[in-house]
Structure 1
Amino acid sequence: MQIKNLMSEDIITIDKDQNLSDALKLLRKHNVSRLPVTNNKELVGIVSERDIAAKLGSSKYESMPASRLHISSVMVKDVFTVPQTMQLDEVAKLMLDNGIGSVPVMDEDDQMVGIVSKADFVTLAVGIAFDKIAVKEIMSKDLITVSPTERIVHARRQMIDSHVGRVPVVDDEDLVGMITSKDLMRAFIDFRKKVPEKYQKSQIKELLVEDIMSVNPKVTSKDATISEVAKIMIETGYNGLPVVEDGNVVGIITQTDILRLIQKLES
């Protein structure tokens, strides 16, 4: 299958000279996690929730309000793109090899005609073939977790260093929540709005994971099927689910794991 048959043609873009507040509004309104960045309608970058969370949590920008940060200072400039005739497995491999969550799709005139994300690939994982594959066969067992009493600046650092967009929050081996790049991004922006600039450097360290985490997270079991998990991801928009056994987190299954499976099956 060519990627043009899977891509989304409804492309939500943002201009490089707009600010992070504008980006947040677009991300929320359209329920997407990344935006292609344009300059005079030409693709010049891409910005994601993870990019924004990483930038806003850095010491260089810790006291700067989102309204003063232009997209051009946050976006990834070296954007991978694919032709609309590229095969699914080739696009999946490109995304996996480069650790990217989506790629703009270009026509023969090098004009952007769509975008394809991991979430689009997950829609392919519903069906008979995926009913026969259990979560335990592809889930990630090397868990990165945080505790509810850790600072969010520490959680941000762990997520950046581990190249993940979500981590389970564990207290005494019990799963008590999830924290995502989206949670961090919103927390940093809200913090800047509420706290006077002169107090931000000291008070940011007082923000804890439990202040912003999602409680009662949706979970799955290691014996659930990939098709079942894919349906949950499609219905909820979640990028990953903790895998729980006897009350303990034994792994996590993410869109990346499903993308890797699809790439293997397609090739």
Structure 2
Amino acid sequence: MTKKPFFISPDISVLDAIKSMANTHYRRLPLVKDKKLVGIFTSADALSYLKQNDFNFSALFVPVSPTFAKKVYFIEKNRDLSEAIKEMVVRDVGGLPVVDANKNLEGIITERDILEEIV
């Protein structure tokens, strides 16, 4: 698990979110407001959004929150690795934000983290 993961505010623009992805080399960025997980912005979301908007440059200046502050799959930090694997398979996602009981972001677990744990 990556502790203290890079995250973004749901109020930043889609363009700034994409720039953050490019600068950090992360494919998924949790959206956090007041320490609470409120969504996730992924590279797949970015590409889908651009396609839906016919690659219109002006669509990049809207905040990510209305589009990507959605129901997000996560796992609580007290769960074990097998539960994280099961959740990722069931939800068909490559990573899960890790939260505490109050939904404060604690970390993120990815497919790579799981493979590294196994070996």
* Aligned equivalent of 1:152: 14
For structure 1, the residue ranges without an aligned partner over 5 or more in a row are 1-138, 194-199
Between the aligned partners of 1:184 and 1:153, the Cα distance in structure 2 is 9
User: Is 1:260 equivalent to 2:116 in the alignment?
Assistant: yes
Quick one: which amino acid aligns to residue 184 of structure 1?
A: A
The residue type paired with residue 38 of structure 2 is V
- Which of 229, 235, 239 in structure 1 is aligned with 2:84? 229
- Rounded to whole Å, the distance in 2 between the matches of 1:142 and 1:161 is 17
Higher relative contact order (CA 8 A, sep 6+): 2
TM-score by length of 1: 0.42
| Counterpart position of 1:53 | none
Structure 1 segment 175-194 matched on structure 2, within 5 A: 175-192=37-54
Higher Cα Rg: structure 1 or 2? 1
Name the SS of the counterpart of 1:147 in structure 2.
coil
Taking the aligned partners of 1:184 and 1:162, their CA distance within structure 2 comes to 15
| 1:184 to 1:205, Cα distance in 2 relative to 1, 3 A | closer
When the two structures are superposed, what TM-score results if normalisation uses the length of structure 2?
0.89
Could you tell me whether the CA contact under 8 Å between 1:241 and 1:253 is conserved in 2?
yes
- What's the % identity of the aligned pairs? 31
Distance 2:79 2:64 in 1: 29
| Counterparts of 1:251 and 1:230, CA distance in 2 | 15
Instruction: Give the 3-state SS of the residue equivalent to 1:192 in structure 2.
Output: coil
Aligned AA (1:166): R
User: SS state of the match for residue 73, structure 2?
Assistant: coil
Shift of residue 214 of structure 1? Answer: 5.0
Q: How many residues align?
A: 118
**2:31–2:69 CA contact under 8 A, matched in 1:** no
Instruction: State whether structure 2 residue 31 is matched by structure 1 residue 169.
Output: yes
CA distance in 2, matches of 1:192, 1:211: 18
